[in-house]
Amino acid sequence: MTVRLTNLIAPSFYSVYQDVKQHKYANYWLKGGRGSTKSSFVSLVIILGMMQDPEANAVVIRKVAATLRDSVFDQYLWAIDKLGVADYWASSTSPMQLTYLPTGQQIRFKGADKPQKIKSQKFRHGYTKFKHFEEISDFKGMEEIRNINQSLNRGGSGIVTFSSYNPPASQRNWVNEATEQQSLRSDTLVHSSDYRSVPKEWLGKEFIADAEQLKHDNEKAYQHEYLGEVTGTGAEVFDNLTIRVITQQERNNFESIYHGMDFGFTNDPTAYVDIAYEPNRRRILLINEIYQRRLMNNEATERIKQTGIGHGLISADAAEPNTIAELRRLGLNVVGAPKGKGSREFTYKWLQGLSEIVIDPVTCPNAAREFKGYEYERDGMDNLIENYPDGDDHTIDAVRYGMRRQMVKGGFVPWK
């Protein structure tokens, strides 16, 4: 029997399949909306990979074990049937696993709600070459994922990990933040897909009709559910953000650069930000940051001096006069940003009123995360509370302090 993979894999995954064959990446983060066939792709690749490598076994993981049977387990049975190899595989639901009969290789299905059943997976032959985190957004966070990986990444080389998921709407969700961090790794591919690249006959007329109806009725919901976009929840404080690399040519032409600093140590990080300001365009560009817990003042001073931007006045949190005094003794021109009643609200509104806040995610990853994830809180009735929450806003505070001279131009501004 001959099976053409182009009849099983959507065109958006052709290049990903070649990357897997060529062992180009160790980690594949596959995000997408409904009907993108990302989970189908992973199941096909793992079945084929195991049949081609007699040392390879796989572990497929969902957050809750009870969801395995009717979701990912059936998905792998589908892949076996579509590849025409059902005679070579045996299935079992207790324990839940698939066995490749010629060699005894196995695919085991585990729930992370029972972590003791994931640790130290021993196979009769071979090792865990493939891992599949299905709906990884259901997990608690990267610490939980790391713990599982540390248990499974033993006994062989060329281990490949697939993470498939629909991105949550909120940028504050851990998986959306982790996706951006993972995209910077050289051993990781972050791939996006949606139903529009899938042959219509695979999805059916009803699926297409439902998608088009939602697009007509609620385009934002359509973008999130069917296109897999991080659309936000409507609670975002800053809707004027642009996250992109700021080129060296742009950096060479900046005329006005300001510097802001927010203090922390044990629980909160010290945050320092360099900010380019273009008043004619009413925009700021965040070009460099220092962000670290337990950062000693002498170390902070050296790191700020080494950035090479040509530092002048640094506006910092006036609530720490002793820290400011020490930094001045160490050679930094630091002054406290004066505060008064209503200053917090004013400075946030000033930032919201800019035409654009541009943040370089490479040189300012924490600023990008904090600004994108900063949201109004909600009350018990799910209504927005229109005040500015305190917490995970350290670079935001540094920017508020750093831009204070521009904010007060044209008249008196109260400071809190």
Instruction: Say which range, 206-210, 362-366, 411-415, has the weakest mean pLDDT.
Output: 411-415
CB neighbour burial string for 245-275, b if at least 16 within 10 angstroms, e if fewer: ebeeeebeebeebbbbbbbbeeeebbbbbbb
More confident residue, 236 or 397: 397
- Among 12-21, 93-102, 292-301, 340-349, which stretch is predicted with the lowest mean pLDDT? 340-349
Specify the higher pLDDT residue, 269 or 377: 269
pLDDT of 310 higher than 60: no
Domains of the chain from N-terminus onward: 5-216 (3.40.50.300), 241-407 (3.30.420.280)
Environment class of 394 (CB within 10 Å of its CB; exposed 0-12, middle 13-18, buried 19+): buried
Compute φ and ψ for 318, nearest 5 degrees: -70, -10
Report pLDDT for 342: 79
Q: Which of 123, 127, 120, 149 is nearest to 136 (CA)?
A: 149
Q: What percent of the chain has pLDDT over 70?
A: 95
Stretch 215-220: mean pLDDT:
92
Write out pLDDT tens, residues 357-391: 999 999 999 999 999 889 888 777 767 777 888 88
Determine contact, residues 58/128, Cβ cutoff 8 Å. yes
Helix (H) or strand (E) holding 306: helix 297-306
Least-confidence region, from 117-121, 135-139, 174-178, 331-335: 117-121
pLDDT of residue 251: 94
**Local confidence band at 55 (pLDDT 50, 70, 90 cut-offs):** very high
pLDDT-wise least confident of 39-53, 66-80, 298-312: 298-312
Q: pLDDT exceeding 90 applies to what percent of the chain?
A: 73
Q: What is the pLDDT of residue 239?
A: 86
Catalytic residue among 135, 177, 289, 375: 135
Other CB atoms closer than 10 Å to residue 226's CB: what's the count?
23
| pLDDT > 60? residue 138 | yes
How confident is the prediction for the chain on average, in pLDDT?
91
Judge whether residue 270 has pLDDT over 80. yes
Predicted confidence (pLDDT) at residue 408 exceeds the cutoff of 80: no
Residue 336 dihedral angles phi and psi, to the nearest 5°: -85, 135
Query: Which pLDDT score, from 0 to 100, does residue 340 have?
Result: 73
Confidence of residue 120 (pLDDT cuts 50, 70, 90): low
pLDDT for residue 100 is more than 70: yes
Q: How confident is the model at residue 413 (pLDDT cuts 50, 70, 90)?
A: very low
* CA distance to 74, 76, 90, per residue, from 81 (Å): 11, 9, 12
User: What's the whole-number mean pLDDT along residues 129-133?
Assistant: 96
Range of lowest pLDDT (32-46, 99-113, 250-264, 382-396): 382-396
DSSP 245: P
Q: What is the pLDDT of residue 416?
A: 40
> Is the CB of residue 98 less than 8 Å from the CB of residue 89?
yes
CA separation for the pair 208, 213 (Å, rounded):
9
Residue type at 4? R
SS3 content of the chain, % helix, strand, coil (to 5): 40, 25, 40
Short-list 252, 313, 317, 332, CA closest to 285: 252
Q: What is the pTM of this model?
A: 0.70
Look at 312 and 179; give whichever has higher pLDDT. 179
- Token pair 């939980």 is found at 144
Residue 42 in contact with residue 34, Cβ under 8 Å?
A: no
CA dihedral in degrees (295, 298, 302, 305; nearest 10)?
Answer: 100
Q: Looking at residues 259-281, what average pLDDT do you find?
A: 95
Which pLDDT value is given to residue 415? 43
- Rounded mean pLDDT, 275-294: 95
Amino acid at 280: N
Sole residue written with tokens 């006959």: 201
Q: Is 302 a catalytic residue?
A: no
Question: Does the pLDDT of residue 411 top 60, yes or no?
Answer: no
Question: Residue 329 pLDDT more than 80?
Answer: yes
Q: Of the spans 152-166, 204-218, 336-350, which averages the highest pLDDT?
A: 204-218
- What value does the mean pLDDT take over residues 243-251? 95
